[in-house]
Structure 1
Amino acid sequence: MTKVKTAGLIFICFSLLQGFVAALNCTSPTPKSLFDALERELFPKKLLRPVKSFSDTLNVSIHMTVVGILGVNEKAQSMTTFIWQILEWNIEGLSWDEKECGTNRVSVPREKLWIPDVSVAEFMDEDKSPKTSYVYLYNTGRVFDDKPVRVVSSCQLEIYTFPFDIQNCTLTFGPHLHVAEDIRMIQGTTAELILAESREVVKTKGEWELADIKSAQNSLEITEGSYSEIKFFIILRRRPVLYVVNLLIPSCFLITLDLFSFLLPPQSVDRSAFKMTLILGYTVFLLLMNELLPVTGNTIPLINVLFSVSLALMVASLLETVFITNIQFSSSQYSAVPHWLSVLVLRYLAVVVFLPPKQKSNRITVSLHPPARGPAMETSFISSRDLQSISGGTTPEKPPPEPEVALDELRKLSRDLTAIRLQMDKHLQGTKTSQEWQMIGIVIDRLLFGLYIIFISVSFITIVSIWIWNNSFVD
C-alpha cells in the first residue's frame, strides 16, 4: 500500500514537471515524424491556454513596425496605417531535440495552435489586411506570429497649427478578453529600434511623415479586472509645402496689394473700385481653396482665423475708403464735429499715427481803420450809395474839398479789397468744421494703414516661427 501511494505521488510530480505538454520524441529526423509527435502531444490541446496551471500568467511579447501611413481623416478623427505585428509566446513544457527531429523550427497552421486574442483598442473599421495561415514553432516551445495589419484607428487630431501641425496618435495593443492574470503584454524591443526600422521600410511618401514613436506599459483597470496593455504613440508631421504654395502665398499677395492700395489718393474713385475687386478676388480664392482646409467640430485652424481677419480688414479698408471719399466731397454739409470725437482722433490718435495737428498760423492782418461793421454789410452799403448817386434819386451832398474825396475813395477801396480777400481765404481753406472732418478721415486712413502693417508683420513672423519649430521638432 505504501509503495502504491509513493508511485502515485511520483507520477503526479512527474506530470506537473512535464508542463502543458511533454517533450516530443521523434522516431526519425523527418517532417512526418515531427508532425506526428505534434499531432499527438500539442494539436489536441489548441483550445487551452498553453500554461502549466490556470493560475499561471502567459507572457506575450509584442513588436511592431510601421510600414505605411495611408492617411489621416480630420473630419472622422481617424488614422489609417499599415503595420507588421509580431507576437511571441512560449508553450509551457514543449521542446524537442533538433538532431532527433531534424529541425529547430517548423511552420504550422494557425488553426492548430492557441492564439492570444491581441487586438488594437482604437480599431474603428473592419480589418481588411491580408490573412496569414501559418506561424513558426521553435524547438524551445517559442511561437513566432508575424502578420500584416491594416489599422483604421481613432485619433484625436489637433489642427490648430494647420498646415504645420504634428499629430500624436495612439495604438494600444492588448487582449480583448483575458485579464492581466491570464495574459501579460511585454514590449519586445525599444521604441528607438522600432522607429529606426520603420523609417527604413516605410513605403508611403505622401502628406504625412513619421516623426517619432514612443511606447509605454499600461494597465487598464475596470470592474471585471485589470488588463495588461502596451501603448505605442505614433507621432506624425504634416508636410506643409503644398499648403504654403496654394494657400498662404496667394493670400499674402492679395493682402499686400490691399496694403499698397492705401497709397492711392483717398478722394479717387479708382481706390474704392480697386479694393472691391480685391475683395471679390479674395472671396473666390477662399471658395476654391475650401477643399484643402481641414474640417472638424472641435478646433478652428489658425489659418482659418488668418483668412477671416484678412477678409475683415479688406472690408474695413473699403468702408474706410467710402467714409473718407464722402468726407472729401460732402464735409461742408456736416454739422460740427463732436467734442469727444475731436479730442479722441485729433489729439490722441493723430499722435499715435505720427500725424500731429497743424500749428496755427502766426500771420496777423493789420488794419489802420477797422470797419465798424462786417465786410459784407459795408460792401452792401457802399453799393447802395453808389446806386443812389448814379440813379439821381436824391441830391448829393456838396462834395468836400478835392484831397478829402481822394482819401475817402481810397478807404472804400481798401475795405472792398479786405472783404474780397477774406471771402477768398474762406473759400480756399474751407470752414473749420470741414477741415476737422477731413483731418479725422486722414487720421483714420493712416491708422488702418498702420494696423495693416502690424497685422501682416505679426502674421508673417508667426507663420515662419511655427514652420521653423515644426521642422526642428525633436523629441
Structure 2
Amino acid sequence: MTNIKTARLIFICFALPHSFEAALNCTSPSPEALNEALERNLFSKNQVRPVKRFSDTLNVTIGITLVGILGVDEKAQSLTTFIWQFLEWDIAGLNWDEEECGTKKVSVLREKVWIPDIHIAEFMDEDKSPKAPYVYLLNTGHVYDSRPIRVVSSCRLGIYTFPFDVQNCTLTFESYLHIASDITMIQGATAANILKESRKVIQTNGEWELADIKVAPSTLVLDEETFSEIAYYIILRRRPILYVVNLLVPSCFLLTLDMFSFLLPLQSVDRCSFKMTLILGYQVFLLIMNDLLPVTGEIIPIINVFFSISLALMVASLLETIFISNIQSSSSQYSMAPNWLSVFVLRYLAVLVCIPPKKKSNRITVSLHPPAKGMTKLLFILFCFSKELQGKSDKTSSVETPQDPALDELRKLRNDLTAIRLQMERRLEGTKNSKEWYMIGIVIDRLLFGMYIIFVSVSCITILCIWLVSKSYVK
C-alpha cells in the first residue's frame, strides 16, 4: 500500500503543472482536427480574460506604424491620420504540438477569441477604416492582432508661428474598462524603430511631414482606479514653401515698393495716387489669400500681425504724403509752427533721421545773380516818385490849395505802393513759415522711411529665424 500511495503522489506532482497547460489534442494534422480542438478548448471560453486566475494581470503589447497624414484642421483642432495597430497577448494554458496538429500558427475569426478593449483616448469620430476579421493564433497561445485604423483625434494646435509651425499631437492607447491590475499596456517597438518604419511606408506627401515620434508609458488615475496607458507623440512639421511663395513674397514686394516710393519727388510726381493704388492692390491681395490663412478663435498667427502692420504702414505713409503735399502747396497760408513742435521735430527728430539743423552764420551773403535791369530801373523810379509824392503832399498839407486831379492820382498811387510793400513783407514772412513747415514735413517723411526700413529688416530676420528653428528640429 505504501508503494502505491507513493506512486500516486509522484504522478500527481508531475500531472499538476501539465494540467494548467491544457494542450490541444489533434486527431490528425489537418485544419478540421485543429478547428475541432479549438472549438472544444478555446472558442467556447471567449467571454472572459484568458488568464488562469482572475487576480492575474494580462500583459498587452502594443505597437503602431503611421501610414498616412490625411489632414490637420486648425479650426476644429483635430488631426486625421491612418495607422496600423499591432496588439499581442498570451492565452494562458493554450498550446499544441506543431507536428501533431500540422501548423505553427492559424488565423481565426476575431469574434471567436477574447479581444482587449483597447481604444484611443483622443478619438473624435467614427473609425471608417477597412475591417480586419482575423487574428493570428500561435501554437504557444500567443495572439497577434493587426488592423488598420483611421484616426480622427483631438489635437491642441499652435499656429502662432504659421507657416513655420511644428505640431505635437498625442495618441493615447488605453483600456476602456479594465484597470491596470487586469490589463497592463506594454510598449512594443522603440520610438526610433516606429519612426523609421513609418517614414518607409508613409503614403502621403502633402502639406505636413513627419518630424518625430516619441513614446511614453503612463497611468491614468480616475475615481481611485488606475488605468494603464501608452502615449504616442506624433510630431509634425508644416512644409512652408507654398505659403512663402503665395503670401510672404508678394507681400514683401508690395511693401518694398511702397517703401521706395518715398524717393519719388513730390514736386513732379503724384505720390498720393501711387500709394493709394498700392493700398488697394494690397487689400485685394489679402482678400484673395484669406483662405490660405488658418482660423482659430484663440491664437492669432504672427503672419497676420505682419500683414496688419504692413497695411497700417502703407496707410500711414499715405497720410504723411498728404500732409507734406498740403504743406508744399498751401503752407504760406499757415501761421507759424508751434515752438514745441519746431524744437521737437527740427532739433531732435532731425538729428535722429540724419538731417542736422542748419547753423546760423554772421557772414553777409552777396547774391551773384542781380535782378534784371528793367526791374531795377522800375524800382528806382517808383522809389523816387514815392519820395517826390510824399514831399508834395507835405507842402500841400500846410497850404490850402484847390484840389488838383493829378495830385489825387498820385495819392492813390502812393497808397498802392504802400499796399504792395506790405504784401511783400507778408510774403517774406509767409515764406519763412512755409520753409519751417516744409522742413517739418521732410523730417517726418524721413522718419517714416526709416521706420519702413527697420520694420522690413526686423520682419525678414524674424521670419528667417523662425524658419531655421523649425528646420533644425532635433529628431
State TM-score, norm by structure 2.
0.86
CA distance in 1, matches of 2:237, 2:209: 5
Deviation at 1:206, TM superposition (A): 0.5
CA distance in 1, matches of 2:134, 2:12: 36
Per-residue CA deviation, residues 278-322 of structure 1 (Å, 9 max, x unaligned), is: 000000000000000000111111100000000000000000001
Hey, what does 1:452 align to over in structure 2?
452
From the superposition, tell whether residues 294 and 365 of structure 1 become closer, same or farther in structure 2 (CA, over 3 Å). closer
- Residue 192 of structure 2 aligns to which amino acid in structure 1? E
Deviation at 1:329, TM superposition (A): 1.6
From the superposition, tell whether residues 392 and 170 of structure 1 become closer, same or farther in structure 2 (CA, over 3 Å). closer
Question: 2:164, 2:470 within 8 Å by CA — same for their partners in 1?
Answer: yes
Hey, what does 1:174 align to over in structure 2?
174
Hey, what does 1:371 align to over in structure 2?
none
Hey, what does 2:128 align to over in structure 1?
128
CA distance in 1, matches of 2:145, 2:450: 66
Question: 2:333, 2:430 within 8 Å by CA — same for their partners in 1?
Answer: no
CA distance in 2, matches of 1:295, 1:385: 83
Question: 2:106, 2:136 within 8 Å by CA — same for their partners in 1?
Answer: yes
- Residue 86 of structure 2 aligns to which amino acid in structure 1? I
Deviation at 1:385, TM superposition (A): 4.4
- Superposition map of 1:10-409 within 5 A: 18-19=19-20, 22-267=22-267, 270-364=270-364, 383-387=385-389, 394=396
Hey, what does 1:466 align to over in structure 2?
466
Q: 3-state SS of the aligned residue for 1:170? A: strand
- Residue 346 of structure 1 aligns to which amino acid in structure 2? L
Mind listing any 5+ residue stretches in structure 2 that lack a counterpart? Answer: 367-380, 399-416
Deviation at 1:241, TM superposition (A): 0.7
Mind listing any 5+ residue stretches in structure 1 that lack a counterpart? Answer: 367-378, 397-415
Deviation at 1:433, TM superposition (A): 2.6
Question: 1:22, 1:94 within 8 Å by CA — same for their partners in 2?
Answer: yes
- Residue 48 of structure 1 aligns to which amino acid in structure 2? V
Q: 3-state SS of the aligned residue for 2:219? A: strand
Q: Which one is further off, 266-275 or 163-172?
A: 266-275
Deviation at 1:393, TM superposition (A): 7.3
Deviation at 1:340, TM superposition (A): 2.0
Q: 3-state SS of the aligned residue for 1:40? A: helix
Per-residue CA deviation, residues 414-463 of structure 1 (Å, 9 max, x unaligned), is: xx9xx98x997985795433222111111100000000001111111111
Q: 3-state SS of the aligned residue for 1:468? A: helix
From the superposition, tell whether residues 347 and 262 of structure 1 become closer, same or farther in structure 2 (CA, over 3 Å). same
Question: 1:388, 1:394 within 8 Å by CA — same for their partners in 2?
Answer: no
From the superposition, tell whether residues 304 and 132 of structure 1 become closer, same or farther in structure 2 (CA, over 3 Å). same
CA distance in 1, matches of 2:141, 2:164: 49
CA distance in 2, matches of 1:256, 1:100: 83
Per-residue CA deviation, residues 327-371 of structure 1 (Å, 9 max, x unaligned), is: 1122222222222222211111111100011122333389xxxxx
Q: 3-state SS of the aligned residue for 2:23? A: coil
CA distance in 1, matches of 2:394, 2:198: 118
Deviation at 1:392, TM superposition (A): 12
- Residue 320 of structure 2 aligns to which amino acid in structure 1? E
Per-residue CA deviation, residues 178-236 of structure 1 (Å, 9 max, x unaligned), is: 11010000011100000000000000010001010000011001115011000000000
Question: 1:268, 1:325 within 8 Å by CA — same for their partners in 2?
Answer: no
Hey, what does 1:375 align to over in structure 2?
none
CA distance in 2, matches of 1:425, 1:245: 60
CA distance in 1, matches of 2:318, 2:162: 29
From the superposition, tell whether residues 423 and 391 of structure 1 become closer, same or farther in structure 2 (CA, over 3 Å). closer
Q: 3-state SS of the aligned residue for 1:457? A: helix
CA distance in 2, matches of 1:228, 1:154: 20
CA distance in 1, matches of 2:95, 2:77: 47
Q: 3-state SS of the aligned residue for 2:32? A: helix
Q: 3-state SS of the aligned residue for 2:168? A: strand
CA distance in 1, matches of 2:316, 2:397: 71
From the superposition, tell whether residues 363 and 16 of structure 1 become closer, same or farther in structure 2 (CA, over 3 Å). same
Question: 1:267, 1:324 within 8 Å by CA — same for their partners in 2?
Answer: no
Q: 3-state SS of the aligned residue for 1:93? A: coil
Q: Which one is further off, 237-246 or 324-333?
A: 324-333
- Residue 432 of structure 1 aligns to which amino acid in structure 2? K
From the superposition, tell whether residues 230 and 388 of structure 1 become closer, same or farther in structure 2 (CA, over 3 Å). closer
Q: 3-state SS of the aligned residue for 2:135? A: strand
From the superposition, tell whether residues 57 and 12 of structure 1 become closer, same or farther in structure 2 (CA, over 3 Å). farther
CA distance in 1, matches of 2:390, 2:76: 97
From the superposition, tell whether residues 361 and 11 of structure 1 become closer, same or farther in structure 2 (CA, over 3 Å). same
CA distance in 1, matches of 2:340, 2:12: 107
- Residue 221 of structure 1 aligns to which amino acid in structure 2? V
Q: 3-state SS of the aligned residue for 2:281? A: helix
Deviation at 1:13, TM superposition (A): 10
CA distance in 1, matches of 2:75, 2:44: 49
State TM-score, norm by structure 1.
0.86
CA distance in 1, matches of 2:147, 2:304: 42
User: How many residue pairs align between the two structures?
Assistant: 439
CA distance in 2, matches of 1:425, 1:165: 67
- Residue 208 of structure 2 aligns to which amino acid in structure 1? W
Q: 3-state SS of the aligned residue for 2:170? A: strand
From the superposition, tell whether residues 333 and 41 of structure 1 become closer, same or farther in structure 2 (CA, over 3 Å). same
Q: 3-state SS of the aligned residue for 1:303? A: helix
CA distance in 2, matches of 1:351, 1:126: 68
CA distance in 2, matches of 1:13, 1:172: 45
CA distance in 1, matches of 2:459, 2:318: 21
Per-residue CA deviation, residues 389-408 of structure 1 (Å, 9 max, x unaligned), is: 67997599xxxxxxxxxxxx
Per-residue CA deviation, residues 6-49 of structure 1 (Å, 9 max, x unaligned), is: 989x9899678644x61111111111111111000001100010
Q: 3-state SS of the aligned residue for 2:70? A: strand
Hey, what does 2:407 align to over in structure 1?
none
Q: 3-state SS of the aligned residue for 1:325? A: helix
